[in-house]
Structure 1
Amino acid sequence: MPQIVEFPERPYVGVRRTITMTTFGLVADRIGEIIGWLAERGQAPAGAPFLRYETIDMANDRLVVQAGVPVAEPMAAEGDLFADTLPAGRYAATTHHGHPDGLFEVITQLLKWGEEQGLTFDRTDKDGTEHWGCRLELFMTDPRAEPDMNNWDTDLQFRLA
């Protein structure tokens, strides 16, 4: 069951890519690289790695997505990595247990629940493209510890306006 959760600002290191529904690996596969980059600098992740959706244009199969890893304190990044902060605020949140292919249905349910609750998401729509203030999929399961994708947990956190 979805709920509303208050989160503080959360610093992270990330990378941004423009992708399609079939090229998610171009951004998602960078998470391990970011974790390794942090380890080389003596830093451990301060939370679950995530994908942050900036824009979604399904009609043209174009998404701008970040892969990010939370850090304890803001830090400088290099190369195509950048440092940023997830905004503080109220988020509609829920958890999906199972294969990532099931996320679409859970996302649809979360958006419908928000509408039924009279909530307004931190999102604007322009020319058929959704622009999100902060829409997250957090990977709660380490695939090295649990390789069966049917046993993965993914948290969804969509910031409210």
Structure 2
Amino acid sequence: MTPQLPPPAPPAVVHLPERPYAALRRTVTPRSLGELADRIPEVLAWLAERGLEPAGPPFLRYELIEAEKRLVVEAGWPLAEPVAGDAAPSGVRAGTLPAGRYVTLVHRGHPAELASVIRALLVWARERGLRWDLTRTPGGERWGCRLESYRTDPRRRPAPTGWETELLFRLAD
């Protein structure tokens, strides 16, 4: 018998402090996004060189979304403490996720379902009068902080149908 997971919680608004992280930043297309996600182990190697471990699950941070053409995305790991130093030759760099109010939602299911889950989350927020930390520019939508945090380790749970992904979208002040 397969254990039943509890039903997912509805979206919530939470306040989060600044959080340090290390990541690779790239400009990709929706089709090549997986190639960036596959490079997350490079960030782990960078951390290991410094004797550091991640303080949570890996994430993708969407900074710029230009429709179906291009995305500026960071793939990385949260840290317990800030890390000083320049970017590595591989492009791994340290940064800080901004403090503030975030809408959060945990999705349990296949990652391919995230697009429809995000659309529903955007509608949920609009119905409540919530505004995103988002600036529309000629180059696309610039997000203050839009994260997909991957709670499920594919090595431990290879079937993606039950994966947990936490969405964290920063709200405007």
TM, length-normalised to structure 1: 0.95
Shift of 1:7: 0.6
* Within-5 A mapping of 1:117-128: 117-127=128-138
| Pair member with larger Rg | 2
Inter-partner Cα distance in structure 2 for 1:128 and 1:116: 27
Inter-partner Cα distance in structure 2 for 1:64 and 1:24: 10
Question: Which residue is 2:5 aligned to?
Answer: none
| 1:47 is the counterpart of 2:29 | no
- Residue deviations 1:79-137 (CA, integer Å, cap 9, x gap): 21111000001001101111100000110011111100100100011226111000000
Tell me if structure 1 keeps the 8 A contact 2:46–2:92.
no
| 1:131 is the counterpart of 2:142 | yes
TM, length-normalised to structure 2: 0.88
Tell me if structure 2 keeps the 8 A contact 1:91–1:160.
yes
Q: Which runs of 5+ in 1 are unaligned?
A: none
Q: CA RMSD in A?
A: 1.2
| 1:67 is the counterpart of 2:97 | no
Question: Which residue is 1:157 aligned to?
Answer: 168
Larger CA deviation: 70-79 vs 102-111: 70-79
| 1:90 is the counterpart of 2:101 | yes
The structure 1 residue matched to 2:155, chosen from 131, 139, 144, is: 144
Q: Which runs of 4+ in 1 moved over 6 A?
A: none
| Structure 2 SS opposite 1:101 | helix
Question: Which residue is 2:23 aligned to?
Answer: 14
Tell me if structure 2 keeps the 8 A contact 1:17–1:26.
no
Question: Which residue is 2:40 aligned to?
Answer: 31
Residue correspondences, number: 160
Q: Which runs of 5+ in 2 are unaligned?
A: 1-9
Inter-partner Cα distance in structure 1 for 2:116 and 2:103: 16
Inter-partner Cα distance in structure 2 for 1:145 and 1:113: 32
What fraction of aligned residue pairs are identical, expressed as a percent?
54
| 1:100 is the counterpart of 2:111 | yes
Counterpart AA for 1:129: G
Larger proportion of strand: 1
- Residue deviations 1:17-37 (CA, integer Å, cap 9, x gap): 100111012321111221232
Question: Which residue is 1:57 aligned to?
Answer: 66
Inter-partner Cα distance in structure 2 for 1:26 and 1:149: 17
